[in-house]
Structure 1
Amino acid sequence: MSQRTVKIESKVGLHARPAALFVQTAAKADGDVTVAKPGGKPVNAKSILAVLGLDARHGEEVVISADGEGAEELLDALEAVLKQPEPESA
């Protein structure tokens, strides 16, 4: 399983639009994808309720993990979502 630690840059944290974009990106993966606060219990990154339940805020770090083919590319995409200071419009 590949993993990395990423600092949340969005001013609203991993809530609302950034959370939805994060979940949509994670849902594209065939394998398991999780997100957790460092030292915390990982939750399913494909579940909007689980992601919102983390209460991850601006400036905090989260650990994202993915397995399966294309895991590193998926982590790159998820990291890009977390590093956006403002969510992009649809």
Structure 2
Amino acid sequence: MEVYIVVKKEVTIINETGLHARPAQLFTQKASEFQSSIKVIKEDGAAGDAKSILGMMSLGLTKGTKITIEANGEDEAQAVAALVELVEQGFGEV
């Protein structure tokens, strides 16, 4: 059994409309490309499955919200890097 170290990084939502339906879909699609277990954690501790559009939408992520993207699995570093890049680019809306 392989043991993986959890990789995580904090990032801030920068697009004006936050994580509405289209960015949530982009985020979950990108997350689903990876084998690792991935979750998004808000500052208040609320967490959602990064591969679930409902899980992401229920977090109510607005502009300025700081989140931690956390992944655990064989491609954890690549998953976190790709998702952080997506958020930092404002989901293509900035």
TM-score bin (small chain): 0.7 to 0.9
Q: Report the Cα offset of residue 73 of structure 1.
A: 1.3
Counterpart position of 2:64: 59
List alignment gaps of at least 5 residues for structure 2: 1-5
Q: Report the Cα offset of residue 85 of structure 1.
A: 3.2
- 1:34 equivalent to 2:39? Answer yes
**Structure 1 segments of 4 or more deviating over 4 A?**
none
**TM-score, normalization: structure 2?**
0.84
Counterpart position of 1:85: 90
Which structure has the larger Rg over C-alpha atoms?
A: 2
Q: CA RMSD in A?
A: 1.5
List alignment gaps of at least 5 residues for structure 1: none
- 1:48 equivalent to 2:53? Answer yes
AA aligned opposite 2:7: S
TM-superposition CA deviations, 1:46-70 (whole Å, max 9, x none): 0000100000101111111001122
Q: In structure 1, the residue corresponding to 2:36 is in which secondary structure?
A: coil
Q: In structure 2, the residue corresponding to 1:54 is in which secondary structure?
A: coil
Partners of 1:13 and 1:42 lie apart in 2 by 16
Pairs aligned (count): 88
Q: In structure 2, the residue corresponding to 1:51 is in which secondary structure?
A: helix
Identity %: 35
